[in-house]
């Protein structure tokens, strides 16, 4: 039996998709008083990040500090949360909005980031500036 090129291509694409889905990992961040631990998480494309111990906290992506085309998120207050699979490479900054003034935020680095220089060029202030320094150190 001969298989057409398009059918073979479809089978290979489906195989790659399911292989990636099976190999994807979930990385756990824990809320602790007014800090996330770990602050910086490096993940592969397709992985997820979950937050636990979120009593009194939320996790929300920071506007303008995630890769272009990436999906924004915002959890509900006090609920553990898992991102959808992170499929866009780049640096993602997130915060606990109620505790952002106390510096409660973190960084997710997905694959080989392409947006970090744009974040640096935006000259973030306050907690975002501190997170930028942590991300820069992790990218070395």
pLDDT tens per residue, range 86-128: 999 999 999 999 999 999 999 999 999 999 999 999 999 999 9
Angle at the Cα of 59 (from 19 to 21), degrees rounded to 5? 5
Q: How far apart are CA 105 and CA 93, in angstroms?
A: 7
Residue 140 banded pLDDT, cuts 50, 70, 90: confident
Q: How far apart are CA 133 and CA 138, in angstroms?
A: 9
User: What is the number of domains present in the chain?
Assistant: 1
Q: Where are the beta strands (DSSP E) in 1-140?
A: 26-32, 35-37, 40-43, 48-52, 60-61, 81-82, 90-95, 105-110
CA distances to 97, 103, 111 from 35, rounded to whole Å, are: 12, 7, 24
In a domain, 83, yes or no: yes
Share of the chain above pLDDT 70, in %: 84
Are 135 and 91 within 8 A, CB to CB?
yes
Share of the chain above pLDDT 90, in %: 82
In a domain, 1, yes or no: no
In a domain, 10, yes or no: no
The pLDDT value given to residue 101 = 94
In a domain, 112, yes or no: yes
Q: Which two tokens mark 38?
A: 């770990």
Residue 61 banded pLDDT, cuts 50, 70, 90: very high
Average predicted confidence (pLDDT) for the chain: 89
CATH of the domain at 33: 2.60.40.420
In a domain, 20, yes or no: no
Domain holding 101, by residue range, is 25-139
């Amino acid at each position: 039996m001969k298989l057409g090129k398009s059918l073979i291509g479809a089978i290979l694409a489906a195989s790659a998709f399911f292989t990636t889905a099976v190999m994807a990992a979930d990385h756990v961040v824990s809320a602790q008083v007014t800090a996330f631990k770990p602050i910086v998480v490096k993940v592969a494309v397709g992985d997820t990040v979950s937050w636990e111990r979120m009593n009194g906290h939320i996790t929300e992506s920071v506007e303008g500090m995630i890769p272009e085309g990436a999906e924004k998120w915002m959890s509900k207050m006090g609920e553990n949360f898992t991102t959808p699979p992170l499929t866009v490479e780049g640096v993602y900054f997130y915060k606990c909005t109620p505790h952002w003034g106390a510096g409660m935020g973190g960084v997710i680095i997905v694959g080989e980031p392409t947006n970090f220089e744009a974040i640096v060029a935006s000259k973030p202030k306050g907690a975002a500036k501190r997170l930028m320094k942590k991300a820069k150190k992790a990218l070395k």
